[in-house]
Each structure stands twice: as structure tokens, then as C-alpha cells.
Amino acid sequence: MAEGGTKTSFDIATVGGLVVGFALVIAAIVFGGSPGAFIDIPSVLIVIGGTASITAVSFALGEFLGSGKILMRTIFHKSRNPGDAALQILQLAEIARKGGVLSLQGHLDSLQSEEYLWKGLSLVVDGTPSEEVEAIMRKDMNATIGRHQKGANILRKAGDVAPAMGLIGTLIGLVQMLGNLDDPSSIGPSMAVALLTTFYGAVLANMVFMPLAGKLERNSNDEELLNSVYMVGAVSIGRQENPRRLEMLINSILPPSKRVSYFD
């Protein structure tokens, strides 16, 4: 049996990118000589509080409250090389070809870390018709894709709202500034504070929400590819097809760089 399985890994690219990006912005502020000018509590409240509130309006409460878990999925996500998964499937198919589908019973315990594959092969071993196995696995995969897409939608919505809240904060600041035109010395500081909300909104949208939404969609696509390999394998094993044909089917859905050559 091919070794390894789905592992929860720490995405250093996501964390490193965020850290470096914010470090560069902070460095530019500090080297400009007036870091205190970029701190304004009312502006922070308008942008962060307003973004959270308006984003919550667009989704169910449970979906919004679960956004914290969504963010964690972009940093800690389950991953596996689909080529390794394909080799594992082909080995299982060869075992089933030689010893029958029931011979996979003794291998199910070793597949606990691959929940999706374990479920599919358990159905096959239990004698579930291959058409029903495919329908169940496809339904599960589509449900997972839907959850991930909903998470990405929350992040993208927050990315759309944050700049708008920044603009609203800027307009509030400008109105307050125009109300104090009789004091010319307050115009400059008031204008700076007014622009801070736009700055906060742009930073949150373009450095946090939109990149994380893109990463979540990428992780979802990777998981969809992996689950497709598992589904094709489980259905083929259930139909007791030739493993060589299964290899061709799997390679047809894998990208060229991940294709396998098990029987050559």
C-alpha cells in the first residue's frame, strides 16, 4: 500500500504573505516619520465594525459566526498529493481484482484518515450498487464544495464592504471638517483622519479578505480533485473493472504533472 494520507498542514505561504505585506506597510508608515497619524479609533470602529455588521446582514447568523473556522481553513488545511492518492487507489483496485471486493475489508481501518475514500469503499464492501455509491459520493462532494464556496463568498463580501465602509467614514470626516472651516488649523488634521477610514478599508479588502477568499477557493479546488480521484476509484472497484482502465480514468482527471504510470 502507498504510504501517507491526508494531512493537516500549516500554510506558510498564507501567513508569510500576510506578515510580509503588513510589515512593508508598517515600515512605510514608520519611515514616513508620523506613525501616530495612522491610528484613529473611530475610523477603526467604522471600518471593522461596519464591515462585520453589513457582511452579517448578507448571510445567516450561523454562517457568519462560522467565519472564524473559515479563516482557519486557509491557514491549516488538509492536503494530499493527488498522484499519491491515485497510486493508493490503483493498489486497492489490484487487491480487489485478485481477491474480490470483500478482500478490502481488512484495509478499511488503515483508511480512517481518508474519510471520503473510507466511506466510498465501505459502501462498496457492503455490497451497495456502484451507481448508488457514485450518487452518494457525488452528493457528499458537492455539499463540501458548497460549504467552501459559501465561506469564500463571506470573505469576498467582506472584501467588497470594507472599502465602502472606508468611504462612508471618509464622508463623515469630511462633513465634520467642513463644519469647522472657521478654524483653518483643524482642516489638515481633520482631512488626515477622514482619509484614514479609506486606508483601513483598502488594506482589509486587498490584503486580507480577497486574498484569503482566493486561497480558500484554491484549497477547495485541490480537495475537489482529490475527492474526484477517490470517487472514480471507489466506483470502478465496485464495478470490478480492470485496474488498467481505472488508471486511464484517473489520469484523465489529473493534471499532466500529477498523472501516474502504475502498470508500466
Q: What is the pLDDT of residues 29-81, one digit of tens each?
A: 898 877 888 888 888 888 999 999 999 998 888 888 877 777 787 888 777 88
> Which candidate, 163, 141, 107, places its Cα nearest to that of 220?
141
pLDDT beyond 60 at 3? no
Set of cell numbers at residue 194 = 477622514
pLDDT, residue 71, reads: 77
Tell me phi and psi for residue 241, to 5 degrees.
Answer: -80, 160
Q: Where are the alpha helices (DSSP H) in 179-209?
A: 187-204
Which residues are paired to 77 by β-bridges?
9
pLDDT in tens, 128-184: 999 999 999 999 999 989 888 888 999 999 999 999 999 998 888 888 788 777 777
Binning pLDDT at 50, 70 and 90, where does residue 1 land?
low
- The pTM score is 0.84
Spatial separation of the C-alpha atoms in residues 210 and 1, rounded to whole Å: 40
Q: Which amino acid is at 235?
A: V
pLDDT in tens, 89-116: 999 999 999 888 888 988 888 888 888 9
Rounding to the nearest 10 degrees, give the CA dihedral for residues 124, 128, 134, 139. Answer: -110
Tell me the three state secondary structure of residue 196: helix
> Which candidate, 148, 141, 98, places its Cα nearest to that of 117?
141
pLDDT, residue 122, reads: 93
Mean pLDDT of the chain: 87
pLDDT beyond 80 at 6? no
pLDDT, residue 228, reads: 94
Share of the chain above pLDDT 90, in %: 48
